[in-house]
Amino acid sequence: MWFLLVLVVIILIIAFTSIKIVKQAEVYIIERLGKFYKVADAGLTIIIPFFDHVRSVVSLKQQTMDIPPQGVITKDNVTITIDTVVFYQITDPAKAVYEIQSLKKGIEYLAITTIRDIIGKMDLDETFSSRDGINTQLRVVLDEATDRWGCKIDRVEIKDITPPADIRDAMEKEMNAERNKRALILESEAQRQSAITIAEGKKQATILEADAEREAQIRRAAGEAQAIKEVAEAKAQEIAMVYDAIKKANPDDKLVQLKSLEALEEVAKGDANKVFIPFEATGALAGLGTLSEVVKEKKTDK
């Protein structure tokens, strides 16, 4: 009875040690008699007790590792502290276990030395403006170095760059001075733009006033010209009507001479001391003189 009970216990122990259940996204590194035997994937795995041994459980998930903050000297001899995080994933579990004693320590040391090498070639200002470039260089160097360890570096991110206190104070003062400078530049630019806008408005107003005055003068001149034209046309019509009337009346020479004398009489009423009589009117005057003598003789005879 006791023998059967012991036998059952031994069988249960063997079964418990022989049956292994591997979780998702994990693998088991199994050794047989101290030598690498196989990589057990997720699921049920059976091993031989006392011969097979699970050397390590390796996660295939993407993992993160914080690199301790490091004091690094820049090219212009400024000591800054850099805090970095590395994202990596194991692609070959056997290499990650057998090719290096501690994968995390190896990645950490590589990251520290690479950061010092990269930052040592940059000025302080360049380290703040070139984070993407630093991240890319770190990822490339680490990925190439850890490839033989069965590891892939997906990303490297610099979380923080901390300069010394005196450098931070100087940088803050410089930023304030730069902000004040930009504010003054923007204010002067706004004033200049305002002055330009005002001058442009005055210029446009002057041009519009000049155009309006020129248009008014043109219209006044056109109106005056039109009025003169209409007056001239009226005078011409009047002269034409008078000429037509005279032509229809068919006056004799005596009537013409008499009208000429009436015209001379009107001229003589002026303030001038001398009156110039046209040569053509002398005949009419002589005729009038003769007519006057005849009238006088007739009065004497009576």
Whether 193 has a pLDDT exceeding 90, the answer reads: no
pLDDT at 123: 87
Whether 69 has a pLDDT exceeding 80, the answer reads: yes
Domain that holds residue 221: 178-250
Whether 168 has a pLDDT exceeding 80, the answer reads: no
Whether 85 has a pLDDT exceeding 90, the answer reads: yes
The band of 255, judged by pLDDT with boundaries at 50, 70 and 90, is: low
Same domain assignment for residues 97 and 147? yes
Answer whether residue 199 is part of any domain.
Answer: yes
Same domain assignment for residues 79 and 159? yes
Answer whether residue 301 is part of any domain.
Answer: no
Same domain assignment for residues 84 and 154? yes
Answer whether residue 41 is part of any domain.
Answer: yes
User: What tokens does 10 get?
Assistant: 């031994």
pLDDT at 247: 64
Same domain assignment for residues 201 and 265? no
83 compared with 249, residue with greater pLDDT: 83
The band of 232, judged by pLDDT with boundaries at 50, 70 and 90, is: confident
Sign (positive or negative) of CA dihedral 63, 69, 71, 76? positive
Cβ atoms of 115 and 157 within 8 Å: the answer is: no
Whether 291 has a pLDDT exceeding 50, the answer reads: no
Answer whether residue 169 is part of any domain.
Answer: no
pLDDT at 1: 66
pLDDT tens digits, one per residue of 115-166: 999 988 888 888 888 888 899 999 999 999 999 999 999 999 998 888 888 7
Answer whether residue 138 is part of any domain.
Answer: yes
Cβ atoms of 93 and 60 within 8 Å: the answer is: yes
Answer whether residue 173 is part of any domain.
Answer: no
292 compared with 113, residue with greater pLDDT: 113
The pLDDT mean for the chain works out to: 79
Q: Which of 85, 86, 88 is nearest to 160 (CA)?
A: 85
- DSSP-derived secondary structure for 151-183: EEEEEEEEEEEE--HHHHHHHHHHHHHHHHHHH
DSSP code of 122? Answer: S
User: What tokens does 204 get?
Assistant: 């446009």
Same domain assignment for residues 67 and 148? yes
Answer whether residue 171 is part of any domain.
Answer: no
269 compared with 8, residue with greater pLDDT: 8
How many distinct structural domains can be found in the chain? 4
CATH number at residue 153: 3.30.479.30
Same domain assignment for residues 73 and 157? yes
pLDDT at 256: 54
Same domain assignment for residues 183 and 141? no
Same domain assignment for residues 87 and 145? yes
pLDDT at 219: 83
The band of 250, judged by pLDDT with boundaries at 50, 70 and 90, is: low
Whether 184 has a pLDDT exceeding 50, the answer reads: yes
Answer whether residue 302 is part of any domain.
Answer: no
Same domain assignment for residues 74 and 158? yes
Same domain assignment for residues 76 and 159? yes
